[in-house]
Amino acid sequence: MDDRKKKILQAVIDEYVGSAEPVSSSALVEKYNLNYSSATVRNELAELEKSGYLDKTHTSSGRIPSEKGYRFYVDELIKDDDISIEEMKYIQTKLDAKVNEIEDLAKIATTTLSEITHYTTVAIGPKPEKQIIEEIKFVLLGSRMLMVVIVTDSGLVKETIIKYDEDITQNQVETLNNLFNAKLKGKPLSKIDKPMEEYILSEITYSVDVIKPIIEQINRIVEEAGTIYLEGANKSFDLPEFKSLEIAKNFVNVLDEKELMLDILDSGMAKDINVYIGDENDKEELKDFSVVTFKHSVGDKDLGTIGIIGPKRMNYSKVISVMKYISKKINESKKGE
Amino acid sequence: MDDRKKKILQAVIDEYVGSAEPVSSSALVEKYNLNYSSATVRNELAELEKSGYLDKTHTSSGRIPSEKGYRFYVDELIKDDDISIEEMKYIQTKLDAKVNEIEDLAKIATTTLSEITHYTTVAIGPKPEKQIIEEIKFVLLGSRMLMVVIVTDSGLVKETIIKYDEDITQNQVETLNNLFNAKLKGKPLSKIDKPMEEYILSEITYSVDVIKPIIEQINRIVEEAGTIYLEGANKSFDLPEFKSLEIAKNFVNVLDEKELMLDILDSGMAKDINVYIGDENDKEELKDFSVVTFKHSVGDKDLGTIGIIGPKRMNYSKVISVMKYISKKINESKKGE
DNA sequence: AATTAGCACTTTGTACTTTAGAGTGCTAAC
DNA sequence: GTTAGCACTCTAAAGTACAAAGTGCTAATT
């Protein structure tokens, strides 16, 4: 593909991303000051269409980018510095906010990403089983409420509360601390299985009624740890793609399927940013959308994945630029600690 | 209003709630086995319209209920046992799930209410300033992470984490426990104001750097405590009222305005269930919707408010029946403790 | 050989017209 | 008090006409 074709393809995509309307040859000449007549551009458009980079909605319509066109754009034509000073400052301010829990930082990043791009964003934390338990702490609140706190190596802190019908002694709390730390410290964060449960029960000299709910609640925490976070779902409704209520509903349903969302975010490769355009998505439900994801991490420690779900007609330049910036800033902020 | 008029009005509303289409005289005769001809029913409908209980969409259309009609229905015609055994069982199962934090119970109730009614539901917890602090506990995690736990009289447990650049000693933790409990126990859950902050700082013999973030984080917790919870926003999109994307967007925007939502839920009277139909809502944005709210509580202790936001064409009988049942069950489950 | 002007041709979206059907209101009969 | 019957009204859907936007191709131009 020669330079002129590239320039025209880029112009078509930039224009279409903004307008959501098929782009005509004359519009390209006018707005992108190409030094050729509309007839010449028309010839080029016809060839780009023949090569599969563009489509038409009907025989006499303007052109819209095909998925192959978007893919070429993402691979070859993208500007990855499509982010303004103001946007950088805004991101900086947001991420600087005093957050101490690692999950809060991920949430703030997700929200900020949605605010700046105006697309729907989703996030998941690191996989529970990849996290190592650093400490389990039992804390007595009043005399009948027991709080269990689990701290992992990646900085995740999870806690739960158990209410009892009778008093718990400080002695019991000590025993629990010792026992659970002895057995679980250094292990991955995963559910307590039957053998382990039986071992713990056998070690404990007092009532099963105290232990059972603890194990139940720990398992519940672990289960919830891989939970999904969603931001800006309503933003997508302003997109012209969603003028059909059919599509809008379909979109909402996709977001609602937590399992599906988990799969999408999980499927990201080790690459820093992954882009899936339309049919490139594994899931049937997403073939009309594009998904862009990135893992944030410090060193080799995976801290979770953040993604954008939007129309294929997405502003890939902006999305990728902002993601790169946020990713860099998260990494820096973690290093400081 | 005589009995026949009541019966006809009820039939119109029941039918319209189901179909969302103007109701004709002949449809009423057929489906609600009234022992009169359509002509007679037509005469009655004309009178009901003259009295303001019904409207027409155009001169030769069937009737739809007016706000006055809905109001009469809610006040006089409602069945408050419009709930099946299956639904009761489902609610029971959901609420029985082992939950220990009071906020979780409210969330489950809100979710369940949305699942059964298919409307959008919202909830807020009790007002922070109405809750009394029972205990503040500082817990050391590792050597540089401090967890602050606040327990209130209504069973709310809130915690936060502070990370330090240097080690915290067990001694310091004790001092913090003593100082904060001495000053805050028995006080309402509200932000720490300047005088209090200065007093605390003056009492502490070591670094300001340790105390400042604690106060910051406590204030953040208090601020977040009055936060809103939303469920089933997407359910409303299936309603024929939302066929216009205009209305759908408007609805989403209302839900997004957290301040507005807080006001709506707060405005509930002491009555057990509050119904606001269309223009009865204080807020301009809600004049096309109906809102039904109830406070859940044990004794005189307010535990928060749950509400439904839906079309004026709402199934008031079902909504109110389910709310009453959930409200009763929540109360029972709390009593058990 | 590449570019462009010019024009026939295609498709869409909008506006206007027509028509069938649903439903009411009213009159006169029961 | 109730009801059959019918003229009248309004809507929603289908059909028709037409201007506007845009392409593809041919022939002329650089």
- CATH number (domain holding residue B14): 1.10.10.10
Q: Which of B225, B251, B274 is the last residue of a domain?
A: B225
Residue B337: is its pLDDT beyond 70? no
The whole-number Å distance from B56's CA to D9's C1' is 13
In B, which residues are within 8 Å of A337 by CB distance?
Answer: 163
- CB half-sphere exposure, A211, CA atoms < 13 A: 19
Residue A337: is its pLDDT beyond 70? no
Q: Do B236 and B153 share a structural domain?
A: no
A213 touches chain B (CB under 8 A): yes
Question: Residue B243: how many CB atoms within 10 A of its CB?
Answer: 12
Percent of chain A scoring above 70 in pLDDT: 96
Distance CA B104, CA B108 (A): 6
Output the pLDDT for position A98.
64
CATH of the domain at B298: 3.30.450.40
In DSSP terms, which residues pair with A274 in a beta bridge?
A293
pLDDT band, residue B203 (cuts 50/70/90): confident
Q: Exposure string (b/e) for B108-131, b if CB count within 10 Å is 16 or more? A: bbbbbbbbbbebbbbbbbbbbeeb
Q: Do A92 and A13 share a structural domain?
A: no
Output the pLDDT for position A15.
97
Is residue A238 within 8 Å of B249, Cβ to Cβ? yes
> In chain A, which among 81-120 make CB contacts under 8 A with chain B?
98, 100-101
Rounded to a whole number of angstroms, the distance from the CA of B234 to the nearest CA of chain A is 7
Residue of B nearest to A137 (CA): B141
Check A141 against B142: CB less than 8 A apart. no
Residue B334: is its pLDDT beyond 70? no
Q: Do A285 and A148 share a structural domain?
A: no
How far does Cα B7 stand from its chain's mean position?
32
Residue A269: is its pLDDT beyond 80? no
Q: Do A252 and A107 share a structural domain?
A: yes
Whether B27 CB is under 7 Å from strand C: yes
Q: Do B118 and B59 share a structural domain?
A: no
Q: Do B243 and B112 share a structural domain?
A: yes
Q: Do B134 and B41 share a structural domain?
A: no
In B, which residues are within 8 Å of A163 by CB distance?
Answer: 100, 337
Residue nearest to nucleotide D23 (CA to C1'): A60
Residue B85: is its pLDDT beyond 70? yes
Whether B161 CB is under 7 Å from strand C: no
Select the more confidently predicted residue: A324 or A97.
Answer: A324
Output the pLDDT for position B11.
97
pLDDT band, residue A335 (cuts 50/70/90): low
Total domains, chain A: 3
B134 touches chain A (CB under 8 A): yes
The whole-number Å distance from B17's CA to C24's C1' is 22
Residue nearest to nucleotide D21 (CA to C1'): A61
Average pLDDT on A16-36 reads 95
Is residue A107 within 8 Å of A37, Cβ to Cβ? no
Q: Do A324 and A231 share a structural domain?
A: yes
Total length of chain B: 337
Select the more confidently predicted residue: B336 or A127.
Answer: A127
> In chain A, which among 270-329 make CB contacts under 8 A with chain B?
none
Q: Do B119 and B241 share a structural domain?
A: yes
The whole-number Å distance from B57's CA to D11's C1' is 11
How far does Cα B49 stand from its chain's mean position?
34
Residue A239: is its pLDDT beyond 60? yes
Is residue A159 within 8 Å of A331, Cβ to Cβ? no
The token pair at B318 is 């079902």
Output the pLDDT for position A334.
63
Q: Do B133 and B121 share a structural domain?
A: no
Average pLDDT on A206-234 reads 87
Per-residue pLDDT tens for B149-199?
A: 999 988 889 999 998 889 999 999 999 999 999 999 999 999 999 999 998
- Average pLDDT of chain B is 91
State the pairing for strand pair B273-277/A120-124: unpaired
Residue A299: is its pLDDT beyond 80? no
Select the more confidently predicted residue: B27 or A336.
Answer: B27
pLDDT band, residue A103 (cuts 50/70/90): confident
Select the more confidently predicted residue: A79 or B246.
Answer: A79
Best mean pLDDT range from A174-183, B7-16, B327-336: B7-16
Q: Do A99 and A36 share a structural domain?
A: no
Q: Which of A77, A97, A115 is the last residue of a domain?
A: A77
Average pLDDT on A301-330 reads 94
Strand C nucleotides where any atom sits below 7 Å of a protein CB: 3-6, 9-12, 22-27
* Sign for the pseudo-dihedral over CA of A264, A270, A274, A279: negative
Which residues constitute the domain of residue A312? 85-127+227-335
Per-residue pLDDT tens for A113-160?
A: 999 999 999 999 888 888 999 999 999 999 999 999 999 988 889 999
The whole-number Å distance from B243's CA to D16's C1' is 29
Residue nearest to nucleotide D9 (CA to C1'): B60
Which residues have Cβ atoms closer than 7 angstroms to strand D?
A: A 21-27, 38-39, 42, 45-46, 49, 56, 59-63; B 35-37, 39-40, 43, 57-61
The whole-number Å distance from A6's CA to C9's C1' is 30
- Average pLDDT of chain A is 91
Best mean pLDDT range from A47-56, A120-129, A295-304, B97-106: A47-56
Residue nearest to nucleotide C9 (CA to C1'): A60
Per-residue pLDDT tens for B27-43?
A: 999 999 899 999 999 99
Residue A48: is its pLDDT beyond 90? yes
Per-residue pLDDT tens for B283-307?
A: 888 998 999 999 987 767 788 999 9
Strand D nucleotides where any atom sits below 7 Å of a protein CB: 2-5, 8-11, 21-26
Give the closest residue to B120 by CA, choosing from B248, B281, B300: B248
The token pair at A115 is 């605010």
Residue A90: is its pLDDT beyond 90? yes
Per-residue pLDDT tens for B107-126?
A: 999 999 999 999 999 999 88
Residue A53: is its pLDDT beyond 70? yes
Q: Do B245 and B201 share a structural domain?
A: no
pTM for the full predicted model? 0.86
